Amino acid sequence: MNPLNSVGHREPRVDALLRVTGKAEYTGDVKLPGMLYARLLRSPHPHARIKSIDISKAQALPGVRAILTKDNCDTVWSSGDSLGQRKLFNNPLRFTGEAVAAIAAVNRHVAEEAMSLIQVDYEVLPFVLDVDKAMEEGAPEIHPGGNLSPNNQRRREPQTYTRGNAAKGFTEADRVFESSFTSSHHNNAQLELRTSLAYWEGSKLTVYASTQGIVNCQRDIAKDLKLQEADVRVICHYMGGGFGNKNQSHDFDLFAALLAKEAKAPVKVEFTRKEDFVAVHGRWSSKQQYKIGVKNDGTLTAIQMVAKTGSGAYRKSSCDLSGTEIYQVPNLETSTTPIYTNTAVAANYRAPAYPQGVFGIESAIDDVAYALKIDPLEFRLKNMTRKFRDQTPYTSFGLEDCLRKGADSFGWKQRWKPVAGSGAGPLKRGAGMAMGMFGSALGRSSAVAKVDAKGNYSIHVGVTDCGTAAKTTMGLIAAEELGVPLNKVNVVWGDTDTCPYSVGESGSRTTVQTGDAVIQAVKDLKKKISEQGMPKGTDEVMVMVTTNPAQIQGASRQSFVAHFAEVEVNVETGNVKVTKFTAAHDSGRVVNPLTAESQVQGGSIQGIGMALHEELRYDQRSGQPLNAGYYGARIMTHMDAPQVDVLWVETEDPYGPFGAKTLGEPTIIPTVAAVANAIYNAIGVRMHDLPMTRERVLAALQGVKA
Amino acid sequence: MKKISRRLFVEGTGAGIVAVAIPLEGQAQSAPAAPTTASNAPKTTIKLTINGQQRSMEVEDRWTLVEVLRDHLQLTGTKIGCDRGECGACTVLVNGKAVYSCSQLAVWMDGRTVQTIEGLAQGTKLDPLQTAFIEHDAPQCGYCTSGQLMAAKALLNSNPKPTREEVRAGMTGNLCRCSNYNHYVEAVMAAAGTLKSGGAA
């Protein structure tokens, strides 16, 4: 791969100084004159009908300026569900924590006092928390029409994929294996609390949001408040993480706008950490069943997956499962059925459909490899995908190198035990691995490029930089194309008044899609300069481009990844410690190896948390969330986090900015499965349920003894 | 029913251990007879030193330290990630020791010295920790960074040459959901001069 001048070098972030001095202004830091603070009153019941709400005492409290409830607000929050029907205030209430009233007051203490003065008369309804029970005859109906959640075409049917004929594939197999796996709802849990600040100037609305996509947020707010997009300005200069749950407008953006209108003053809505866990969303849970047909030599003949996923009380995202696509198999059938329950809503969290699906298929495949006495690494090298859906070639393909070079770097031969569970104990070590892939499609985005008379360049992009270093990435791409150092490029971002459309930081698309727009903008700018010369005095030369490349015909563009984990399992306590972790990634050319390393290490460590301890639990009798918060949900800490060794497998890809492919989401895709397979190698017992807590590891070990 | 004030709550329990037992706010049905409003809330005058500057100020007894810093002194570099002593985003130094400022009442600061992220650099001269955080890409989203820096500062104050394990233990009260823990530890060790060459220690 030919080296470049700016791209491919370890560059600190362009905004790092502001981030380490406390000067980066996050949404919650913005304060406007006369600003009011808002709080939400929420349902204490998992399923209830509001008979009446009495706000009179709250209204009478000095300092209360506006109260919204279902009685005076029927605004639809269209990105709140895939049908575009979810309202800000719903009746019946379908999960513990659903919004009942929003209150704006002169300070947060008064708003909190006012909350306790609102009297709600609830008719408590029967509820259901489990996807299987929700599909039983006579189960409480969460939405009219039943608990099988309709897709965005309003059809109540599973999401399916078929190639070949699985039944035929199983008859051709020497052996057929069946197994099942479950995963839990767990939360994105970004550090920044949910907040939004809105104010009106006549019919013009400005929202300081915390969003991964300022333009998407602007579009959604305009739609739901029936405004022109040009009349809605969304600003987000710094935001404290999102991991997929901030790419549309949120109900708090709408609450802020509506309360501000009612109170005729700027309103800041703030959610508590508990509200973030129960009332926004997390990754959907799953129950997965696999049937795998294989020849004695390890050739796959058929894979069938039948799954249910838990969408929670509303269907906000696909609730699909991925994973089986990483295998070459002539006969494949998958079916995923999203189901409503009276629990927190599930939606996008970093590679939304992947880590739990890959946990299932990669655990099932691991069992097959052991049963056939084939090294799981060799089994994967034999059966890994070579063409997308066994049909379409890849634009570049680094999966085999991720497996081979990753295994070498990790020391697979030395660490993996041919006989699972063969260590002496009580501390048993074992190694496991898993692989994955993630689409890296081209797509529409825009960019503005400018130069002034002094030769200072500016790039305007509609990104917010949720922590991925997107601003720096855009700056590096522009610098490379301009042939100037990074410090000559000023990146302007995070404000719909000054920045054009960007896809939003979801689907790991910014580097590729907005990066392509930046390259084109710079090319056009250079052309314009060559035609009319550099600007003079206070003039600028400026271009704006929108790139919308045609989708690649006859080839599929994907990023690939293989993760390798070594664990130490204490068979007396059930504790699992990750002792070595290697992440091998093919994301094409790596634009900034320093910040990309942060992405891989962070995604992997998040995945280890998902594997070992994170879940949102509910009391089965009351429907109350039990552990909504950092401490209870056991997210990863400094002490939990192992060193993650990052290995780049840089393939040359003909598309994307300088051949860069997707990175952010692949970093978590195979992590959970690699840890699960390492636990199996250590203890010789298969873990079927996420998270693999100490209690579950001990129970699994005792199951063997019994 | 006896009214539980914010002050009694914070004093009585400290942090988030009891959070599981707190019902959602909607369950609080019995209204207090005389709600405490901004105008009649009990207040106390305190004297304290913040980032080297002596101040005297009147605070409501229910205000937390982080609330005073962010809302009343415009020191918004200190963040709130949970407001219940779980995440460490609000870490500041009180008399040189790292504390969660969401779990400290402002009235307790009378006579104390508080250092926040805004007081870490000496003018334009960055603290070695800040330089190392930039070079090692410690902040991703950056929201936990102020807290991580102050926790690291407290650690190096008491242990100038920590091992990797000591850094992890010293900072484990500071969550990073971007999970950039590897780079945070590297950066602290680089600042302390104990990072072995070649990146990871």
For the stretch A609-641, pLDDT in tens is 999 999 999 999 999 999 999 999 999 999 999
Using an 8 Å Cβ cutoff, are A244 and A188 in contact?
yes
- Do B165 and B99 share a structural domain? no
Establish if B168 belongs to a structural domain: yes
Please state the rounded mean pLDDT for residues A8-27. Answer: 97
Which of B74, B90, B119 terminates a domain? The answer is B119
- Do B19 and B86 share a structural domain? yes
The chain-wide mean pLDDT, for chain A, equals 96
Give the whole-angstrom CA distance, residue A600 versus residue A615: 22
**What is the token pair recorded at A527?**
């052309």
Give the whole-angstrom CA distance, residue A554 versus residue A551: 9
- Do B87 and B20 share a structural domain? yes
Contact residues for A536 (Cβ-Cβ < 8 A; gap 6+):
A453
CATH of residue B75's domain is 3.10.20.30
**Alpha-helix residue ranges (DSSP H) falling in A21-107:** 56-60
Restricting to A residues 201-240, those with a Cβ less than 8 Å away from any Cβ of B are 238-240
Directed axis angle between helix A671-683 and helix A593-612, to 10°? Answer: 50
Instruction: Note the pLDDT of residue A507.
Output: 84
Q: Under an 8 A CB cutoff, do A273 and B81 touch?
A: yes
- Do B67 and B152 share a structural domain? no
Angle ∠(A117,A121,A122) on CA atoms, nearest 5: 125
Instruction: Note the pLDDT of residue B8.
Output: 55
Q: Is B179 on the interface with A (CB under 8 A)?
A: yes
Q: pLDDT-based confidence at B5, cuts 50/70/90?
A: low
- Do B92 and B52 share a structural domain? yes
The count of residues in chain B is 201
Which of B59, B86, B119 terminates a domain? The answer is B119
What domain count does chain B have? 2
CATH of residue B148's domain is 1.10.150.120
Establish if B178 belongs to a structural domain: yes
Establish if B54 belongs to a structural domain: yes
**Alpha-helix residue ranges (DSSP H) falling in A411-452:** 412-415
Instruction: Note the pLDDT of residue A504.
Output: 80
Q: Under an 8 A CB cutoff, do A602 and B178 touch?
A: yes
Establish if B38 belongs to a structural domain: no
- Do B58 and B19 share a structural domain? yes
Instruction: Note the pLDDT of residue A425.
Output: 83
Establish if B48 belongs to a structural domain: yes
Pairing outcome for strands B43-50 and B113-115: parallel
Give the whole-angstrom CA distance, residue B193 versus residue B184: 14
Instruction: Note the pLDDT of residue A167.
Output: 98
- Do B137 and B98 share a structural domain? no
Residue A505: pLDDT over 90: no
Residue A704: pLDDT over 90: no
Instruction: Note the pLDDT of residue B199.
Output: 43
- Do B134 and B114 share a structural domain? no
Establish if B37 belongs to a structural domain: no
**What is the token pair recorded at A653?**
């890809």
Closest CB from B41, B77, B177 relative to A191: B177
Which residues in A lie closer than 8 A to residue B86 (C-beta atoms)?
273, 629-631
**Over pLDDT 70: what percentage of chain A?**
100
Instruction: Note the pLDDT of residue A128.
Output: 98
Residue of chain B with shortest Cα separation from A237: B141
- Do B150 and B105 share a structural domain? no
Show the domains of chain A with their CATH numbers.
27-125+195-270 (3.90.1170.50), 282-440+554-705 (3.30.365.10), 442-547 (3.30.365.10)
A69-85, pLDDT tens digit by residue? Answer: 999 999 999 999 988 89
Q: pLDDT-based confidence at B31, cuts 50/70/90?
A: very low
- Do B79 and B55 share a structural domain? yes
Domain residue limits at B104: 6-25+44-119
Establish if B36 belongs to a structural domain: no
Give the whole-angstrom CA distance, residue B41 versus residue B5: 11
- Do B106 and B18 share a structural domain? yes
Residue B184: pLDDT over 60: yes
- Do B138 and B171 share a structural domain? yes
Give the whole-angstrom CA distance, residue A217 versus residue A211: 7
Restricting to B residues 146-175, those with a Cβ less than 8 Å away from any Cβ of A are 146, 149, 167-169, 171-175
Establish if B80 belongs to a structural domain: yes
Q: pLDDT-based confidence at B39, cuts 50/70/90?
A: low
Which of B85, B119, B153 terminates a domain? The answer is B119
Closest-CA distance of chain A to residue B111, Å: 25
3-state secondary structure A262-315: HHCCCEEEECCHHHHHHHCCEECEEEEEEEEEECCCCCEEEEEEEEEEEEECCE
Looking at residue B32, the DSSP 8-state letter turns out to be P
Closest-CA distance of chain A to residue B181, Å: 6
The chain-wide mean pLDDT, for chain B, equals 85
